[in-house]
Copies of this chain bind each other. A is one copy, B any other.
Amino acid sequence: MRPGTSRVRTVGELFERARAGDPRATGQLLSLVENPSDRLREAMELLARHAGHAATIGVTGAPGVGKSTLVAALVGAYRQVGSRVGVLAVDPSSPFTGGAVLGDRVRMQAHATDDAVFIRSMASRGHLGGLSWATPQALRVLDAVGFDVVVVETVGVGQSEVEIAGLADSTVVVLAPGLGDGIQAAKAGILEVGDVFVVNKSDRDGAGQVVRDLTAMLRLVPPGPHAWTPPVVRTVAHREEGIDALVVELRRHRDWLTTSGGLAERRRWQAREEVEALAQAEFLATARSVLGEAGVSDLADAVVRGALDPYTAADRLVQAAYRAQHAASSTPYGDGSALVL
């Protein structure tokens, strides 16, 4: 076998190569966490020990506001100061936006030959947005292998805005003029997820009005526990205008997070959410495998018929998982010794 060709590497080998800057090894690690297998657990154990150093930035906003152009410009700005930058682009699987997103990706090609920039497109969970379950794991990979900044770009449709705010240290919400009156009201919810707001395409008519509306609405948001006031930055991303100001605000937000204790609090909250979600998924998988597809369907049918109320049906599901665990663990466990951190 020739050296350097595609023999299967251990997780440790992949990790060392990725840390040394090999984009193929980084890509293979990402594939590993995207596709559940025995090696996923091994990878997660290794990665957990090295993650937590990157500045993670979520960029979200409606289609057409110029998110990808902004992310490309942001990557350029971070490269100029020598940072290694990872980008996770969570694409909606909808056929309607697929084309446009693909087009946007092309603009990132300026960075394609730069090994200190790593770009990965990821599938979103469903037609209505929502991050893939692998997104936190992928973020952890890029963090652990040494990227200083990791940008997660999501199309602001449905659930993804909420989720990105739960995942990144700093969330950038991008708006642009020309998206109609209704959009401001429709998107009232974004006010609470944005740490920094960008009005992109701010050379266009109506940009000033968007900035004024946004600023007025932000004034009405009750300040959080640590009183960060989200700034509004005007950019023209395709001409790289305003990008330096955005980087300054992002740094200011991160400094504030660190000094206020907000970063530790946010990360603890994120870890808790992640652990609980994984535990629930594990529990449900056990319950399903015990009852089998037919057993779960029978429970659902009983609820539809009115023979069982949903709470009682849920109890049955819970008891099934417990019984299975009881049977499986009666020999190996039993002394309660496993609960040591």
Contacts and interface: CB of A to CB of B under 8 A. Distances in A.
A336 interface: yes
Contacts of A52: 304, 306
A182 B127 contact: no
Given A158-B159, A188-B97, A41 B311 contact: yes
Interface in A313-338: 313-323, 325-326, 329, 333, 336, 338
B185 A310 contact: no
Contacts of A45: 309, 311-312
Contacts of A309: 41, 44-45, 47-48
A262 interface: no
Interface string A289-303: 000000011111111
A106 to B, nearest CB: 18
A286 B283 CA distance: 12
Nearest to A283: B283
A275 B313 CA distance: 6
A183 interface: yes
A186 B62 contact: yes
Interface stretch (A112-120, A173-181, A225-233): A173-181
A128 interface: yes
A257 B163 CA distance: 34
B94 A188 contact: yes
Interface stretch (A2-10, A12-20, A74-82, A263-271): A263-271
Contact of A185 (B100, B272, B299, B325): B100
A245 interface: no
Contact of A162 (B128, B183, B321): B128
Contacts of A136: 310
A339 interface: yes
B264 A185 contact: no
B50 A306 contact: yes
A189 B92 contact: yes
Contact of A297 (B162, B272, B322, B333): B272
B311 A322 contact: no
A284 interface: yes
A307 interface: yes
B319 A339 contact: yes
B303 A316 contact: no
A63 interface: yes
A51 B306 CA distance: 7
Interface of A: 40-41, 44-45, 47-52, 62-65, 92, 94-97, 100, 126-129, 136, 156-159, 161-162, 178-183, 185-189, 191-193, 217, 220, 264, 267-269, 271-272, 274-276, 278-280, 282-284, 286-287, 296-304, 306-323, 325-326, 329, 333, 336, 338-339, 341
7 contacts: A64-B182, A128-B162, A158-B162, A180-B181, A182-B183, A278-B310, A282-B314
